[in-house]
Amino acid sequence: MDDSTVSAVLARYGPIIRGLRWESLGSAGGFSGARIWRGDDAAISPLLALKSWPESMTAAALGRIHGWMHAAMHLGFVPRVLRNVAGSTATLAGGRVWDLCRWQPGEVVRNPSDVQLVNACSAIAALHRSWAPTTMLAPCPGVRNRLRLFEEYRCADSRGDALRSTTHPRLEEAVSRADELLARLLPSAEAALRLWNDVRLPLQPCVRDLRREHLLFTNSEVTGVIDFGAMAFDHVAVDLARFLGEALGDEVSGFSDGLAAYRDAGGKLAVPDEFVHLLSFTGLLGSLIRWIFHFSGQGHTAQFPDTVAMRFLQLLLRCEKMGPL
């Protein structure tokens, strides 16, 4: 993204950005194609975050997400979205849609303490309560999306394409191992998911990408939840499965504490804990498949070869420790 486009976008926000120094953070560790800039004041304190969203994001979709964020903004850890001089929260420039938000303080915690885990699940419950008035009964999209992805993987040529096209030395063997692992684990995973395929559950707006990197802590308190770009209607268990699965790794016992904290904070799960475990397990398998599909096109591998190889190997090692359901 060239500097002139960034300057043109910032100019649409008027005096609110006056005097700020902007630093490019690149992709900030992500692979979606988004780009982020941090606006610091004279004391080098971060105040604002400018984001260029991936090409797949539309102004209409981002506006809907901003509406949900606004409904939860009273929580303090949800970024406030700023309006441009035209009164819109979404800005179009350079073939992309952009937004400008307040910078949320805090740090990513790789291995949350017991207190941090409880506070994170309580924060997730507060988010869900903010959106709970908008609910409906329907089959869980998280279940159906996983089943659709597993079916695509069995039928697609991307498996062979990925095996033939991964030129990174650490990926070639890893993709082959992943293919063998998926052949072993997918049958039981699909069978367990099908039991939930037609169950009508309460759906509401959910973040759907509550990765560890998207929750920020100051000491033990949650002071930031960032990146709401995947928001859509789903069951709240999808958010809990994603966060707890990443935060706890192989510590299965921590799921019960996290889900108890969620319920104690007023979160309405309305499903057994086993359903969250199922979504976490099958979500990991789905992540493996998405990476393999990416490798068949070589996009992410070519841009970030070593980072991608490390991320994929870490995911593969986690999956290899799991047995069939």
Instruction: State the pLDDT at residue 321.
Output: 82
Helix, strand, coil content of the chain in percent (nearest 5): 50, 15, 30
In tens, the pLDDT along 66-80 reads 999 999 999 999 999
In tens, the pLDDT along 221-245 reads 999 999 999 999 999 999 999 999 9
Q: What mean pLDDT comes out for the span 206-214?
A: 94
DSSP 118-160: HHHHHHHHHHHHHHTTS-EEEE-HHHHHHHHHHHHHHH-THHH
Count of C-beta atoms within a 10 Å radius of residue 219: 11
| Cα–Cα nearest to 57, from 48, 66, 49 | 66
Instruction: State the pLDDT at residue 163.
Output: 57
Confidence of residue 253 (pLDDT cuts 50, 70, 90): confident
pLDDT at 309 over 60: yes
Cα separation, 206 vs 128, in Å, equals 7
DSSP 4-26: HHHHHHHHTTGGGGTT-EEEEEE
pLDDT at 297 over 70: no
Q: What percent of the chain has pLDDT over 70?
A: 90
With tokens 């030129």, the residue in question is: 167
Residues 216 and 226 sit within 8 Å (Cβ to Cβ): yes
Instruction: State the pLDDT at residue 267.
Output: 97
3-state secondary structure of 50: strand
Q: Give me the helix-helix angle, 114-131 and 237-248, nearest 10°.
A: 160
- Range in 25-29, 241-245, 302-306 the model is least confident about: 302-306
Instruction: State the pLDDT at residue 160.
Output: 61
In tens, the pLDDT along 111-155 reads 899 999 999 999 999 999 999 888 899 999 999 999 999 999 988
In tens, the pLDDT along 77-88 reads 999 999 999 999
pLDDT at 250 over 70: no
Confidence of residue 300 (pLDDT cuts 50, 70, 90): very low
Mean pLDDT computed over every residue of the chain:
90
DSSP 55-119: TT--HHHHHHHHHHHHHHGGGSSSPPBPP-TTS-S-EEETTEEEEEEEPPP-B--SS--HHHHHH
- Displacement of CA 226 from its chain's centroid (Å): 9
pTM of the model: 0.92
Cα separation, 258 vs 119, in Å, equals 9
Beta bridge partners of 96: 93
Cα separation, 48 vs 18, in Å, equals 12
3-state secondary structure of 225: strand
Cα separation, 154 vs 186, in Å, equals 9
3-state secondary structure of 46: strand
Residues 295 and 171 sit within 8 Å (Cβ to Cβ): yes
Burial class (CB in 10 A: 0-12, 13-18, 19+), 274: exposed
Half-sphere exposure of 130 (CA within 13 A, CB side): 20
Confidence of residue 299 (pLDDT cuts 50, 70, 90): very low
Instruction: State the pLDDT at residue 158.
Output: 56
